[in-house]
Amino acid sequence: MKKLLTCFFAMLGLTSACGQQNYEDVDVQQFAALVSDTDVVVLDVRTAGEFREGYIDRAINIDVKQGDFLQKAKATLPADRKIAVYCRSGRRSANACRQLAAEGYQVVNLKGGIMAWTGSQMPVKVEE
């Protein structure tokens, strides 16, 4: 019985450790303050087509759905700077944040994505 309880508590500890978030989620106002700092890198992880429809100023576009996302990100993003990440609704960017944080990047995710950003009347740029 003692071994069974020990095993149970060990597994419980592993599942809670795996569930920990290794990045920060912020709202639109916090994200706006963050990206106003030119030392912060802005990363848009949507598709190229979505990016062309409108993006946050200074954003770099690397599609998280592409198989080479992590390789491109590591080749492009400086490891010593904070990365502000967003997508359309916040799901893809959360995935990108998990991957980047696992590689040692300090990342922040925009809750609600660019939908929340534009819904708060924040500016976007459009490719011409």
> Does the pLDDT of residue 15 top 70, yes or no?
no
| pLDDT-derived band at 127, boundaries 50, 70, 90 | confident
Percent of the chain with pLDDT over 70: 84
Output the pLDDT for position 17. Answer: 46
Three-state secondary-structure class, residue 22 = coil
Between 33 and 2, residue with greater pLDDT = 33
User: What is the maximal distance between C-alpha atoms in the chain?
Assistant: 69
Looking at the DSSP assignment, which residues form a beta bridge with residue 85? 43, 109
Output the pLDDT for position 14. Answer: 45
Find the mean pLDDT for residues 114-125.
98
Helix H or strand E encompassing 42? strand 41-44
Q: Which of 59, 41, 40 is nearest to 50 (CA)?
A: 59
Q: List the catalytic residue out of 7, 18, 87, 97.
A: 87
pTM comes to 0.84
Q: Which of 29, 41, 50, 25 is nearest to 109 (CA)?
A: 25
What letter represents residue 75's amino acid? A
Residues found in the chain: 128
Interval 48-103: pLDDT, tens: 999 999 999 999 999 999 999 999 999 999 999 999 999 999 999 999 999 999 99
Is 97 among the residues known to form the active site?
no
